[in-house]
């Protein structure tokens, strides 16, 4: 299991014209580090429930691109709302998914240790059954 680090908005925020029409802008920025499975669904659920026009798309190992359409007079507020969506997705992951992943990892480690202990015991028992071969002296 890899170490969990909360994704956050990083780097520059770029603003440009929107295909939505006059009065709207497209805002893009990066969220890093890379998000775990299920994180994007929680992010998207939050923005949808709060009426934010934002999408998230993987842009490789260094992070994820967020594209936001907002009113040009208040795009800063919309970016702040996306920050809230990021926090929500992080909180959901930490409170729901991460404990399940840790529990599964602990369970797997315990099972591996149990199997290794059993194998050692079996090897010891099997060693007691060994007999010297015709060319071996004991």
Interval 79-124: pLDDT, tens: 999 999 999 999 999 999 888 888 888 888 899 999 999 999 999 9
Q: What percentage of the chain reaches a pLDDT higher than 70?
A: 92
Please calculate the CA angle 9-12-15 and round it to the nearest 5 degrees: 105
pLDDT band, very low/low/confident/very high, at 6 (cuts 50, 70, 90): very high
pLDDT band, very low/low/confident/very high, at 27 (cuts 50, 70, 90): very high
Q: What structural domains and CATH numbers belong to the chain?
A: 8-103 (3.30.70)
pTM confidence score: 0.72
Rounded to an integer, what distance in angstroms lies between the CA atom of residue 84 and that of residue 104? 29
Rounded to an integer, what distance in angstroms lies between the CA atom of residue 130 and that of residue 134? 13
- The angle, 0 to 180 degrees and rounded to 10, between the axes of the packed helices 75-92 and 39-49 is 140
What does the pLDDT read at residue 138? Answer: 56
Q: What is the mean pLDDT of the chain?
A: 89
Residue 10 pLDDT exceeds 60:
yes
> How many CA atoms lie within 13 Å of 109's alpha carbon, on the beta-carbon side?
7
Whether 13 contacts 92, CB under 8 Å: no
pLDDT band, very low/low/confident/very high, at 133 (cuts 50, 70, 90): confident
What does the pLDDT read at residue 137? Answer: 62
Whether 2 contacts 57, CB under 8 Å: no
pLDDT band, very low/low/confident/very high, at 132 (cuts 50, 70, 90): confident
b (16+ CB within 10 A) / e for 55-88: ebeeeeeebbebebbbeeeebeebbebbeebbeb
């Amino acid at each position: 299991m890899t170490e969990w680090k909360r994704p956050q908005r990083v780097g520059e925020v770029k603003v440009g014209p929107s295909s939505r029409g006059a009065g709207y802008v497209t805002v893009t920025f990066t969220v890093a580090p890379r998000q775990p499975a299920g994180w994007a669904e929680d992010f998207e659920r939050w923005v949808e429930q709060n009426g934010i026009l934002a999408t998230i798309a993987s842009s490789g190992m260094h992070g994820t691109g967020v594209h936001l359409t907002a009113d040009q007079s208040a795009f800063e507020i919309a970016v702040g709302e996306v920050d809230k969506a990021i926090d929500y997705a992080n909180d959901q992951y930490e409170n729901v998914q991460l404990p399940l992943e840790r529990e599964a990892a602990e369970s797997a480690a315990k099972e591996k240790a149990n199997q290794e202990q059993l194998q050692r015991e079996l090897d010891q028992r099997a060693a007691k059954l060994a007999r010297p071969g015709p060319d071996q002296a004991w």
